[in-house]
Chain A
Amino acid sequence: MRHFTIVGLLVFLLTALTYAGLTAIGLMPVQASAQAIPIDWMWNWQILAISFFFSLIMVPMVYSLVVFRKKPGDDTDAEHIEGHTNLEIAWTVFPLIIVVIFAYLGAFSLGETRKVDPNAMVINVTARQFAWSFEYPEYGIVSDKLHLPYNRQVLLKMQSEDVIHSFWVPEFRLKQDVVPGRITEYRVTPYLVGEYKVRCAEICGANHSYMEANVIVDEVVTFDAWVAEQQALASVKTPEGLGKQIATANGCVGCHSATSSPLPSAPTWFGLFGSQVELADGTTVTADEAFIKESILDPKAKEVKGYSPTIMPAFALSDEEIANLTAYIKSLK
């Protein structure tokens, strides 16, 4: 009986310590969405259950190893105990009850994350190897960054142009695959102003690691200002402006940087036009209109040194679109 009392106390103690320890470490990133709240609530219950069951097995086990280890010189067998049916029933039924409760809590918290606001703002998301683009049908703008207003539910209608991708913002907690041939939905209500990243969570090819895009949650005022600015930019019909929109809508900017620091998968466009490009076969070529056009229509024709030509798909753009895009690239210096 003494053994059971000690073990009981130790189980209680270790449960408290494990739970307090795990909570103190801060396991989850910041909560940036309304949906993160029920998920973290569920997670908290799970941590408690994990702490308890961990202690419930570990304490008697370690206790046995210390107290019931073989005494030196004692080669006899231990007491013959075959089992205990009531005990077996108890540790079948008791966990079963816990499981049913936890399954209910799980279903409940899932329901909380799926609450639908009929006035949610719709954003069309397109995923492709290895870029995200975001279209706001309400405002007629396209962006390579996901700007979201604070505390308004958004409904992302997501489609993929090639393989399966997965939309995950760790701070939002939610994840949804983007599957070619269908539209999948992702509802989120941003709850914390800040900058996060959407990270593709389903392997989608060589540059999967780099398939990330910025997610910016703004105050409503700042968001509206951003929308107005984007609309103003979109209304200017200069070739450079149109070219920039083409670059965003087709996901070019996911790999090709517009600044002097290149992204890992592709050469930067900054200062590209008119420069000498070194190819994998050792020759160089001038980045002129013809080279840019060929690289868009048939990316495998000329392999730029240091980059894999298999990453970029061919884009069937019209001559006019290519001219606008080239004008945009020209403007980057």
Chain B
Amino acid sequence: MKRFFGSALMRGLFWQVVGLLVGAGLVTGIRAIMGLSTIEGPFFFTEPAWVLGAFVGVICFLVGSGVTSDWIKWARGIDTPDHHEDHYTGWEKILNVSVDHKVIGIQYTMTALVLISLGGLFALIFRVELAQSGLQFLTQEFKLFDQNGLALYNSLMSLHGMVMIVSILLGTAGFINYVVPLLIGAQDMAFPRMNAFAYWIAPPAAVLLILSLILGGVSTGWTGYPPLSAKSPMGMQMFFLGVFVAGWSSILGALNNIVTVIRMRAKGMTAWKMPILVWAAVATSLISLTATQLIGLSFQLVMFQRLFGMGFFDPDKGGNPVLFQHLFWFYSHPAVYVFILPGLGVVSELLPVFVRKPLFGYRWIAMSSLGIALVGFVVWAHHMFTSGMNEYLRLPFMYSTLLVAIPTGVKFFSWTATLWGGKIRTPTPMLFVLGSIVVFLMGGLSGPPNATVSTDLHLHDTYFIVGHFHDTIFGGFVFPFFAAIYYWFPKATGRRMNEPLGKIHFWLMTPSFIALTLLMMRVGLIGMRRRIADYDPGLGIDGYHMIMTVMAFLIATSVLVFFYNFFTSLKKGEKAEGNLWNSRSPEWQVPSPMPAHNYETPFEVVGEPYDYGLKDNGFIKFIEPSKGAHK
């Protein structure tokens, strides 16, 4: 117990609370001196006090958790050892600061799983409310956190969106962090301390997002459009600040990843010999590094509009609400490629292993990731076809958006061709890879009608869109994420997860999810709008909604099966210390769990990463240490 409360996470949380109170107290003191109101509303402190307090809280978390200790020591002229040997084991490793990329990868993954559960819980709550038309329990009389049922519905719906988005960013960062250095033969990431710092930003940011629910809620959906967000309760500010802070994590992580891939590849690993997931990780990182600033900026502008009365998006002061949407989508559209590219990379990475055949058109798939990333920068306004922006601009954005279909199509065709003529095995990770392809195909095919202006005029802001993006996100992230966990779990733990339970997870989740999203699209076409707590019984969609709610609970059940499998396998799973999947990839050429400093002896690349079926010497060869000169 003492070790739990003494962990970096708990220390950080303690200091975050202290920092919050100090910051809020400071502003309140200054306001008292200036003769402004000091205490108002249902949340004790004033809005400026909460905002500054929350910000100071985040800084205090980072310092208090100890992730900045080395930097502070260096600034004071004190030397620290290059490597810190971890003296923690088991769960303590996860709750304490480590600079080992593998531990950080697991920390990211575990945090993502926690947030996915939280976001899923939010979804289940409002899914129950939607099961029938009329208000059942989130009623006008219902009161919680200074919100009535309808306002709380909006808060839960908004936070479902944002908590899931943050968890996806953390989840992709999880497997990129864990796997990419192993794939390229690096001992660690290029900047291990910055890597740890990027991870430790996430917990305080998550705290702010949860705080937003308690401090009056979020009324706008995850997009936070002003003027509504400028008029919403104070929770909105915590939401903005939480996302703003979480953005640092993305930017720093991306920078680290790019430098690592450029500078730390093993001998002989030229660009065309990098495993495909590395390509995907680079494409993703290019977007995160350069676009994340825009969402931070747009949210910051609304924060300042609220705090200082700056009228950026306030038409009464000459501002323009549509400008916000441009700034916001300039990140938030490329962001969806940040969510899916690593997942599609996992699909391409695992497919050859289980088909026992080279990845068909490796270079085309590698280039398609970069293609999607680059085209992704010039399509943002397709979210705004009905927004009242310049009408003639809608056509170029329609063309550019439809172009995304080309590189995406290359991936699908190449995957199909990889499967063709293989000797296909279907253990749990492969099932999730196949599920990913099917679900992402549905997401991909439901995309062009939204990209085409004329049909989008009907589809925009309906449940059709909701179904479409849940398909892309499940296909592009959730399924590959589970595939990656089932696949690399033995690498991290030396044990494998239970196969029958994994298959139950898959067969419970996949049909339910497909039914759920098809029905979402169906009701959307009929007239179900997005983000509504209640719908017109006259639409005749009550039955569909009931089925959707049941499906949502089946998905939740399957995830519970996964968690049970995950935690029991940690201790009791079947031992799997060798090359379990018979892969050519370097990380499987050394025993599991992975040694602390990765490869005892460095390797050089002597073949192609996916040359299954070729009698060669494999992808890599370990360099025998000559005369003990190594290290």
Contact = CB atoms under 8 A, between A and B. Distances in A.
B359 to A, nearest CB: 8
B350 interface: no
A81 B421 contact: yes
Interface string B295-315: 000000000000000000001
B135 to A, nearest CB: 7
A207 B388 CA distance: 23
Contact of A81 (B322, B358, B446): B358
B529 interface: yes
Interface string A35-49: 000110011001001
Contact of A68 (B141, B424, B461, B611): B424
B11 to A, nearest CB: 39
A162 interface: yes
B4 interface: no
A199 B528 CA distance: 9
Contact of B387 (A87, A168, A177, A203): A177
B457 A173 contact: yes
Nearest to A160: B227
Interface string B355-388: 1111011111000000000000000000000111
A15 B101 CA distance: 47
A163 B141 contact: no
Interface in A196-248: 197, 199-210, 212
B262 interface: no
Given A64-B416, A201-B461, A306-B140, A38 B454 contact: yes
16 contacts: A76-B356, A92-B364, A96-B406, A99-B402, A110-B394, A110-B453, A164-B228, A200-B529, A203-B154, A203-B530, A206-B151, A208-B532, A210-B534, A264-B135, A308-B148, A308-B150
A43 B455 contact: yes
A202 to B, nearest CB: 6
Interface in A89-106: 91-92, 95-96, 99, 102-103, 105-106
Contact of A205 (B219, B362, B434): B219
B438 A80 contact: no
Contacts of A2: none
Interface of A: 25, 27-29, 38-39, 42-43, 46, 49-50, 53-54, 57-58, 60-61, 64-65, 68-71, 74, 76-84, 87-88, 91-92, 95-96, 99, 102-103, 105-107, 109-110, 112-114, 162-164, 166, 168, 170, 173-177, 179-182, 184, 197, 199-210, 212, 264-265, 305-308, 310
Contacts of B462: 201
Given A166-B386, A203-B530, A308-B148, 10 more contacts: A50-B445, A83-B417, A92-B364, A164-B227, A170-B458, A173-B457, A175-B458, A206-B148, A264-B534, A308-B150
B409 interface: yes
Contact of A50 (B406, B446, B532): B446
A58 B225 contact: no
Interface in B509-535: 522, 525-527, 529-535
B424 A64 contact: yes
